[in-house]
């Protein structure tokens, strides 16, 4: 696969004439968008921020739409538990009994509470000229499942992919876990493609053993399955089908799934014009190039040795995680 800079340039050049992707970034305020950066000019970004001060900062960006509300599974008023570490703030109380086993309890402690208004993605998008979203990026501590439930209509009629945080243990009291999110999205026709995992070590002895502790949370990528996509575009016009197919391929390539992009193109080639087919074929071919060492005697032993050597560079820390989400870097 080409290096990061070349991959980004090839990605932009291949989709410079694509209709903009409607991307909702829920809970991160437009941050952590590295993979999408080369296509920023081809994205209509929708942000959601209930805090007045942060909302005022976000609306200064003329290149995105900002909605002053928290996202939940219904329209309601909730109490926000503001944590000592701001990024850990949640609508749910932290599970301090569990968290006290690790070195992160103090960061989760609630320092104040705020009343905030909540609404659903479906309600907001219906109010905004019935806008159809293409991609959801969700990072709302402990309430990612509720955000997805409140986006069920969008997930059914237009969304092509979901990048969401999820937990494997109950960091917040009463929260939904990985299995709940997996089953919900799988029932709606989405397949899990990757999970970026984060591990915590218990504070009783955080420096012993290998780098991993218990898997605690992560980021997951779900893409709409081929059969589900086929059903989705069956109700669209010929022109809308072409647009959806190109976006579907683009999203797959943003996360580095060149093989899936190739399958999409092969499956739906009858729906696009020859010029577009050639362009997308060339894009997939250019992004699929990769360098692999040839097979030689002792290759497996060298690989094992190098992997063991790389472990020496792991930080001596209570937490450890996968480098990235997706199939690029």
Tell whether 116 is covered by a domain.
Answer: no
Helix, strand and coil in the chain, % to nearest 5: 40, 25, 35
pLDDT digits (tens, 9 = 90+) for 169-209: 999 999 999 999 999 999 999 999 999 999 999 999 988 88
Dist. CA 139–CA 44, nearest whole Å: 19
Tell whether 327 is covered by a domain.
Answer: no
Tell whether 60 is covered by a domain.
Answer: yes
- Is residue 314 scored above 80 in pLDDT? no
What letter would DSSP give residue 138? E
pLDDT digits (tens, 9 = 90+) for 218-272: 999 999 999 999 999 999 999 999 999 999 999 999 999 999 999 999 999 999 9
Confidence of residue 310 (pLDDT cuts 50, 70, 90): low
pLDDT digits (tens, 9 = 90+) for 1-55: 678 888 999 999 999 999 999 999 998 655 567 889 889 899 999 999 887 777 8
| Displacement of CA 192 from its chain's centroid (Å) | 11
What is the arithmetic mean of pLDDT over 102-124?
94
Give the Cα-Cα-Cα angle 312, 315, 318 (nearest 5 degrees): 125
Tell whether 49 is covered by a domain.
Answer: yes
What CATH number has the domain bearing residue 173? Answer: 3.40.50.150
Contact in structure between 165 and 144 (CB atoms under 8 Å)? yes
pLDDT digits (tens, 9 = 90+) for 37-50: 889 899 999 999 88
pTM: predicted TM-score of the whole model, two decimal places: 0.92
Tell whether 91 is covered by a domain.
Answer: no
List the beta strands (DSSP E) in 27-119: 43-48, 64-67, 70-71, 76-83, 110-119
Dist. CA 317–CA 252, nearest whole Å: 33
Tell whether 107 is covered by a domain.
Answer: no
pLDDT (0 to 100) of residue 1: 66
Domain boundaries, position 233: 4-73+121-321
Contact in structure between 89 and 142 (CB atoms under 8 Å)? no
Tell whether 281 is covered by a domain.
Answer: yes
User: 82: helix, coil or strand?
Assistant: strand
pLDDT (0 to 100) of residue 316: 59
Tell whether 145 is covered by a domain.
Answer: yes
Contact in structure between 102 and 202 (CB atoms under 8 Å)? yes
Radius of gyration of the chain (CA): 21
Q: DSSP labels for 182-196?
A: HHHHHHTTEEEEEEE
Task: Please state the domain count of the chain.
Answer: 1
Give me the chain's average pLDDT, please. Answer: 90
Contact in structure between 217 and 171 (CB atoms under 8 Å)? yes
**CA proximity to 115, closest of 84, 143, 154, 76:** 76
User: Which residues, in sequence order, are CB contacts of 162 under 8 Å at separation 6+?
Assistant: 135, 136, 137, 138, 148, 155, 185, 190, 220, 221, 222
**CA proximity to 170, closest of 81, 98, 79:** 98
Dist. CA 104–CA 84, nearest whole Å: 11
Q: What are phi and psi of 283, to 5 degrees?
A: -65, -45
Residue 179: which H helix or E strand, with range?
helix 178-187
Contact in structure between 318 and 215 (CB atoms under 8 Å)? no
């Amino acid at each position: 696969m080409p290096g990061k800079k070349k991959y980004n340039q090839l990605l932009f050049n291949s989709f410079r004439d694509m209709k903009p992707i409607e991307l909702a970034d829920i809970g991160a305020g437009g941050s952590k968008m590295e993979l999408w950066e080369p296509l920023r000019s081809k994205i209509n970004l929708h942000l959601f921020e209930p805090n007045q001060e942060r909302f005022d900062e976000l609306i200064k960006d003329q290149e995105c739409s900002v909605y002053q509300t928290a996202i939940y599974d219904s329209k309601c008023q909730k109490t926000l538990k503001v944590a000592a570490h701001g990024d850990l703030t949640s609508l749910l109380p932290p599970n301090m009994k569990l968290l006290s086993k690790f070195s992160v309890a103090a960061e989760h402690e609630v320092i104040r509470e705020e009343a905030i208004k909540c609404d659903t993605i479906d309600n907001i998008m219906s109010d905004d000229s019935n806008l159809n979203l293409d991609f959801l990026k969700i990072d709302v501590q402990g309430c990612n499942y509720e955000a997805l439930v409140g986006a069920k209509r969008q997930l059914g009629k237009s969304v092509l992919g979901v990048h969401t945080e999820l937990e494997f243990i109950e960091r917040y009291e009463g929260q939904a876990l990985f299995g709940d999110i997996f089953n919900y999205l799988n029932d709606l026709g989405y397949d899990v493609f990757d999970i970026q995992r984060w591990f915590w070590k218990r504070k009783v002895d955080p420096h012993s053993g290998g780098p991993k502790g218990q898997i605690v949370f992560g980021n997951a990528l779900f893409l709409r399955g081929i059969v589900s996509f086929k059903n989705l575009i069956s109700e669209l016009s010929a022109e809308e089908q072409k647009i959806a197919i190109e976006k579907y391929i683009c999203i797959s390539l943003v996360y580095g799934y060149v093989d899936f992009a190739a399958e999409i193109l092969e499956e739906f080639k009858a729906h696009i014009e020859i010029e577009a087919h050639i362009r997308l074929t060339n894009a997939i071919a250019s992004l699929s190039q990769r360098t692999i060492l040839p097979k030689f005697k002792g290759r497996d032993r060298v690989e094992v040795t190098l992997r063991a050597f790389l472990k020496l560079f792991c930080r001596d820390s209570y937490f450890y995680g996968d480098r990235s989400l997706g199939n690029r870097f």
